[in-house]
Structure 1
Amino acid sequence: MPLAQSTRATPARRARNDPAQYDDLAADWWRPDGVFAMLHWIAEARAALVPPATRDGAVLVDLGCGAGLMAPHLSGKGYRHVGVDVTSSALGQAAQHGVLAVRGDVAAVPLADGCADVVAAGEILEHVPDLAATVGEACRLLRPGGLLVIDTLAATALARLIAVTLAERLPGGPPPGIHDPALFVDRAALVRECARHGVDLRLRGIRPSVRDLLRWLRTRRGVVRMVQAPTTAVLFQAVGRRR
């Protein structure tokens, strides 16, 4: 759910949720004041849910890794960071930040069963046309006892209003068309699918700190903390371990 203006306009010909938009915006991934600024803030909050590795050779699989924005926040935690994405321009940047880049569809990941101690699916589930297949893949990759970490947008009228109707019209808001609200995630369906694959999820809502966000909008500098929200009806995190 990126917030800031880009140096490049997303071409009007792109359909909503077209992955080619990420090639159009490739220069913005690591700009702290770029259109992907909020993804940096969410990546830091996601990485905070990942505990230090408890064994040598531990693997974290980052589904929809983009340009590897989690990488700086996983440093020192002891994981081999494997990133999966369909966008080659993003994967090239992820590799430059120490991520082992794998080109692949998150609904058909070219990695072995049980290969991961942690699977992170950050800001990706609201972009996939087949939620069940993607969740199944995320759970398949986990070792028994492995941790699944998710953040995504809820399938609610409030999320559509905030993340699309309002945000796309605000100066510094996300690129028009980056989200298709028809793909926002049904929270109950997500919990059911994960449970079906042996992962019991706990959900909590998150949002940017208002004070930090106002400062950032004024200066385009500094970190915006993600804090707990009173509802999961817009942006939420989910965590669970595979039984």
Structure 2
Amino acid sequence: MKLNSIERAAMNNPLRAAHQHRVEAAWFRRLAGGALSGQHVLEIGCGRGVGSEIILDRFGADRVSAFDLDELMVTKAQRRLHGRPVTLSVGDVCAIDQPSGAIDTVVDFGIIHHVPDWQLSIAEIARVLRPGGLLLFEELPRHVLDTWVVRTLTDHPRENRFEAAEFAAELARHGLHGTGAIEQRFGGALFVGAARKS
């Protein structure tokens, strides 16, 4: 699902970008065990391109492929990342336009909880990852999406949501096994982790 105007404002502002650069990048770098030097990294739901910028500048990826459902966000990302080794497109995580086994690492800065058929998105991520490839994820659990504030101010699918353990079980069902315990952040308001393709 595309973000509504409130979510777009919350996700596309300098405070969110600063948090991604300083905090979320540190989480993911630690979970990845260091840099992603020389890798082809896929960012799902790239928004205006801050995540792809981090993947290049903080993780040292060789090249990034990134997509978003929202054409406006892809246009903003193209402006932000002009001249960088990034391929941007409009796309859907349930039908990723990449060959099987083509990607070294997939990065999810909180996108999968927006996907109605999130299990299909996991299957697609598993398909495009090479054996030994890595998924880095940050997600909102069901109990947060069920709060009055989130239900009132944002547009998320209401059915078929997940808690961290259910998310991990679905990853494992597709051969993506956690590299450590899923970490709860902000009192359980979100969870982060990493999984490798067996």
TM beyond 0.5: yes
Amino acid at match of 2:136: V
Tell whether 2:141 aligns with 1:154.
Answer: yes
From 69, 72, 88, the counterpart of 2:71? 88
**Secondary structure of 1:70 counterpart:** helix
Residue identity opposite 2:48 in structure 1: A
In structure 1, the residue matched to 2:25 is 44
Match of 1:127, as an amino acid? Answer: H
User: Which runs of no fewer than 5 residues in structure 2 stay unpaired?
Assistant: none
Are residues 188 and 101 of structure 1, via their aligned partners in 2, closer, same or farther at CA, if it must alter by over 3 Å? same
Q: Matches of 2:150 and 2:170 in 1, distance apart?
A: 30
CA gap 1:166/1:38 in 2 versus in 1, 3 angstroms: farther
Counterpart AA for 1:148: L
Q: Which amino acid aligns with 2:184?
A: G
- Write the letter of the residue equivalent to 2:76: Q
Deviation, 1:78, is: 2.9
Distance 1:67 1:61 in 2: 15
Cα distance in 2 between the residues matched to 1:27 and 1:167:
14
Over aligned residue pairs, what C-alpha RMSD do you find? 2.9
Q: C-alpha offsets along residues 146-205 of structure 1, whole Å, 9 cap, x if unaligned?
A: 11111111122xx246xx424688xxxxxx124345454233332222112211123111
3-state secondary structure, aligned to 2:50: coil
1:25, distance to aligned residue in structure 2 (A): 7.3
- The question of whether the paired residues in 2 share the 8 Å contact of 1:66 and 1:85 is answered with yes
Q: Secondary structure at the match of 1:106?
A: coil
Report how many residues are paired: 187
- Could you say which structure has the higher helix fraction? 2
Conserved 8 A contact 1:26-1:89: no
> Is the Cα–Cα contact under 8 Å of residues 127 and 183 in structure 1 kept in the other structure?
no
Counterpart in 1 of 2:185? 206
* Amino acid in structure 2 at the alignment position of 1:31: N
State the match for 1:128 in structure 2: 115
Matching residue of 2:154: 177
Aligned sequence identity (%) = 24
Aligned mates of 1:181, 1:46 — CA distance in 2: 28
Distance 2:165 2:8 in 1: 34
The whole-number CA distance in structure 1 between the counterparts of 2:150 and 2:163 is 21
| Matched residue type, 1:205 | Q
Which has the larger Rg?
Answer: 1
TM-score, normalised with respect to structure 1: 0.65
Indicate whether 1:67 and 2:48 are aligned. Answer: yes
Deviations 1:97-141 (CA, angstroms, capped at 9, x unpaired)? 243112211011111111111011221111111111000011111
Aligned AA for 2:100?
A: D
TM superposition score normalised by structure 2: 0.78
> Which letter does structure 1 place at the counterpart of 2:104?
D
Q: Paired residue for 1:13?
A: none
Q: Contact between 2:105 and 2:133, CA under 8 Å: does it hold in 1?
A: yes
Question: CA separation in 1, counterparts of 2:161 and 2:139?
Answer: 8
